[in-house]
Chains A and B, each alone.
Chain A
Amino acid sequence: MTRLRFLNTLVTILFALVSATAASAGEMKIEAQLIWGTNEDKSPDPNHKPIDPKLAKRLDRLPIKWKHYYVVTVKEFSVAQGKTNKVTMSKECEIAVKNVDGTNVEVQLIGKGKPAGKVSQGLGKGKCLLTGGDAENLTAWFVLLKLVE
C-alpha cells in the first residue's frame, strides 16, 4: 500500500514536471529597451542612463551616427509560443511582440495606440533587433529587443 502511494506521488511529480517543461518549451524571455539617440552631450532627462558600452559598440557598427544613446525604459517579459505580449515602453510607445515559433518574433510598433510598423525577425541567442526612426530636433528613437540570457 505504501509502495503504491509512493508510485502515485512519483507519477504525479513526473507528470507535473513534464507539463511544466512542455508549457515552457518555446517560451521566449525578452528584454526590450527604449533608447534615445542624440548628438547632445547631456540628456535633458536626468533619469536617462547611457546605454551599455557593449551595446554602444554594436550601434557604432550600424549606419546610424548619433553621438550618444540613452536608455529610456527597460522591460523584461516572457511570451509563450504562438502568443503575443503587449508591452508599454513609454507614454507614446508600445510594442506587441508575438512569439511565432520559439525563435522568430513578429514585432508590431504602436505609437499613440496606432500601428506604426511591423517587423518579423529571428531572435536567436546573441542576436538583437533594433528598430528605430527619426525624432524631433535631429534625434532618434530606438526599440531594442534581445533574448534574456
Chain B
Amino acid sequence: MNHELELKLQAWVDGQLPVHEADAVARLIETDAAARAALTELKNTRAALAGYEDGIKVPESREFYWSKIAREIERQQPRQQPTADSWFHHFRRLLIPAGAVAALLLFGMFASRTTSQDNQPYDLSNLVADSDAFAFTDEESGTTLIWFSYPTENEFAEPDDSDIL
C-alpha cells in the first residue's frame, strides 16, 4: 500500500473525504485485505489516543487551566532576570540593611553630640569661676551640685544668732 492510499484511508476514517472519493475508498476496503488491515490499525490507534486523552481531563475549565500556565510563566520570568543584572539586585538587597545601619549611626552621632552639648554647661571649668569649688552632675535627675569648700568662717556660711544660715 502506498503512502497516498494510507493518507486517503486516514482521511476516510476522519470523514474528511468528498463523497465520490469516500465511495471509492469504501470499495477498496471491501476488496483489498491490506487496506482493511491498515484501516483496523488506524481505528485502533484512534481509539487508543481518544482513550488516553480522556484520562488526563483537568478539573478546571480550559481557559482557567491555560491562564494558570500563563501566570506561572509570567511569575518565573522575573526570576530568570536577576542572572542578567545580579550585581544590581545584590546591591539593592544590601541597600536596605546598609541604610538602616547608616540611620542608626547618624542617630547615635546626633544623640551623642546632643548629650555632649548638654554636658557642656556642667563642665567644671565653665561652670564655676572658683578654684575652691567642685561640681557634680546627676544626669538622671538633672541635678547639678556646686560645692564650695569654704571654711565655716566664711561670711556666706557663717550663722547668725537670728538666722541659722
Contact residues of A with B, CB < 8 Å?
Answer: 34, 36, 43-45, 48, 57-59, 61-64, 72, 89-93, 104, 109-112, 114, 116-122, 124, 126-136, 139, 141
**Contact between B141 and A61 (Cβ–Cβ < 8 Å)?**
yes
Whether, in the assembled complex, B140 has its beta carbon less than 8 Å from a beta carbon of chain A, the answer is: yes
- Taking Cβ atoms with an 8 Å cutoff, the residues of B that contact A are 118, 121-122, 126-130, 133, 136, 138, 140-152, 154-160, 162-165
Q: 17 A–B contact pairs at CB < 8 A?
A: A36-B164, A36-B165, A45-B164, A58-B143, A110-B156, A111-B154, A111-B157, A114-B156, A118-B128, A119-B127, A119-B133, A124-B142, A127-B143, A129-B144, A133-B147, A134-B150, A141-B157
A119 near B156 (CB under 8 angstroms)? Answer: no
Closest Cβ of chain A: how far from B129's Cβ, in Å? 5
Secondary structure class of chain A's binding surface, majority of residues: strand
Complexed CA–CA distance, A109 and B151 (Å)? 15
Across-interface contacts of B147 in A (CB, < 8 A): 64, 131-133
Main secondary structure of the interface of B (DSSP, over half): loop
Residue from B122, B140, B146, B163 whose CB has the most chain A CB atoms within 10 Å: B146
What is the minimal beta-carbon distance from A11 to any residue of chain B, in angstroms?
Answer: 41
B149 to chain A, nearest CB (A): 7
Q: Which of A57, A58, A90 contacts B165 (CB 8 A)?
A: A90
Which of A64, A118, A130 has a CB less than 8 Å from the CB of B144?
A130
